[in-house]
Amino acid sequence: MLTSKIIYKLDPIYRRMNIHLFCPRCGNKQTYNIRMMNVCRCGTPFLINHYVGKYGSELVKIFSSRPKGVWRYLELLPSFNASPVSIGEGGTFLHRSEGLGRRIGLRKLYIKNEATNPTGAFTDRGASIELTKSVEIGIWRILCVASGNLAVSIAGYSAKAGIPCSIYLKHGVEHVKILQALAYNAEVFFTTDPSVAIKPLQESIDYHLVTSLNPLLIEGYKTCMFEILEQLDWSPPDWVSIPIGTGSHLTACWKALKEVEIVDLLKDNLPKFLGSQISSCAPIAEAYRKNKEYAEPAQIDRVIFPEIAERNPPWSYTALKAVRELGGAILTVDEEQLINAIKILAKNEGILAEPAAAVALAGLFDAVDSGIIKRDESVVLIVTGSGMKDPTTIQSVMERKSFIDLGKKKQIGVTKKKILELLIEKPLHGYMIQKELALRYGIKISLPTVYEHLRDLEIIGLIQQSISSKNRLKRPSKKYHVTEMGREVYRRLS
């Protein structure tokens, strides 16, 4: 199998160790088993416990002697007897942002740009750790049931490791992510409910199942926080702003802080977390507001941004614990705030973020405006993924018109208005839109003309498309659904 040629020397006691798990909720312990789901009987995902034989300045010296990246922090990672499966993950840039800082009203704003990872997202960090362990124990096939970014990362790193990979994606995932996975030679399937897809697969011995529950992924994700701290000379910022989907990235950053505190690396107090969720699917924010220790599954009718719309986030307990333990906050932002955040970040910093990543910036604006974050406090904003993974939304962001212009009936004619009316009822394919226009309204137009109307509506942000397939990989088809902005414009026109 193909793996990286980078080999680091470790103490013999470190290499002989098993991976030990603990439950952050009830304290239950067990040994890691790659064939198990690694979820405690209380329903909380296990985390990995470490033995670290070195402390403080000794560790700093060791870290600084290695190349930048995930594998720089070996003493704080699980033990491995294989060379890293690596394609350059981690070591991403942290820079001081004066222009965006002034726009928000912050004197010390830093941006950690995770979009520069090999496949364009922070999830590459976890994929490198996960695939290295798979190579070590001789896994011959990977099956991943996850959101778009994680599935793409697993597909890419499986290709690097020389292991065949199949992935299950949620319906509605961005088309570019499907193409990325296919480019990595992954077999791609679709599912409406990942939890249903997982159940018949988790007991099989024919492959290794990767989901967002896997504790090795957390080990990779936490290196993002190690890097932030090292890049700030181990002096933490006052706040870290991070988007929330499954809660895994926030959990990983919290775990990293706990570990560097134990080994005496920090010069100052631990930072607070500002977590942000999209208001249309915000179970963790709702649990935070109601002072619950874990999130209840969200009941939502539609998904506009599937990467961050996690109905039943598995890491909700640890995400909530992290925020409350350190005195942070969790906010929600709406679709309009998110889209504005994408534009502001691009225009002020030259960074094009995908919607899931821009949630953290939208939440940061609210936190400063409301006084949760003081203007003289230092903040690190984590941009988790690249906007090139979602070009349809980016096109809409850059070409859309204002509400005032959209409210003029001369811009939204009768046919477009009727299309909006149909899509408010339910998502439809282009052919069904053509058929319904003729049957219900007597509007008989060709299918190419229907698609011209759909493109116009999509460009100005009133509708979005998603990829779906009932027969797995064969001939994925597009469905169109109305956005919140589209509903508002239709209401005004009516």
Which residue ranges make up each domain of the chain? Answer: 87-399, 400-493
Residue 459 is predicted with a pLDDT of: 76
Maximum mean pLDDT: which of 290-294, 340-344, 451-455: 290-294
Beta strands in 208-367 (DSSP E): 208-210, 239-243, 272-278, 329-333
Secondary element (H or E) of residue 8: none
Residue with structure tokens 């100005």?
460
Q: Tell me: the pLDDT tens digits for 32-56? A: 887 777 899 999 999 999 877 778 8
Distance CA 428, CA 238 (A): 47
Band of pLDDT at residue 276, cut at 50, 70 and 90? very high
Per-residue pLDDT at 406 exceeds 60? no
Residue with structure tokens 């007991």?
203
Report residue 353: phi and psi, to 5°.
-105, 145
Q: Is 136 in contact with 161 (CB distance < 8 Å)?
A: no
Four-way CATH pick for 87-399: 3.30.365.10, 3.30.200.20, 3.40.50.800, 3.40.50.1100: 3.40.50.1100
Q: Tell me: the pLDDT tens digits for 130-150? A: 999 999 989 999 999 888 899
Instruction: Name the average pLDDT for the chain.
Output: 86
Band of pLDDT at residue 414, cut at 50, 70 and 90? confident
The amino acid present at 285, given as its one-letter code, is: A
Per-residue pLDDT at 26 exceeds 90? yes
Q: Tell me: the pLDDT tens digits for 173-209? A: 778 898 999 999 999 988 776 666 666 665 566 688 9
Q: What is the dihedral of CA 45, 221, 377, 98, to 10 degrees?
A: -150
Band of pLDDT at residue 303, cut at 50, 70 and 90? low
DSSP 340-407: HHHHHHHHHHS--B-HHHHHHHHHHHHHHHTTSS-TTSEEEEEE-BBGGG-HHHHHHHHH---HHHHT
Secondary-structure class of domain 400-493 per CATH? mainly alpha
Q: Is 6 in contact with 20 (CB distance < 8 Å)?
A: no
- Give the tokens for residue 257: 């802080």
Q: Tell me: the pLDDT tens digits for 144-170? A: 988 889 999 999 999 999 999 999 887
Percentage, residues of the chain above pLDDT 90: 60
Distance CA 86, CA 70 (A): 9
Residue 401 is predicted with a pLDDT of: 44
Among 43-52, 189-198, 292-301, 320-329, whose mean pLDDT is lowest?
A: 189-198
Distance CA 469, CA 181 (A): 16
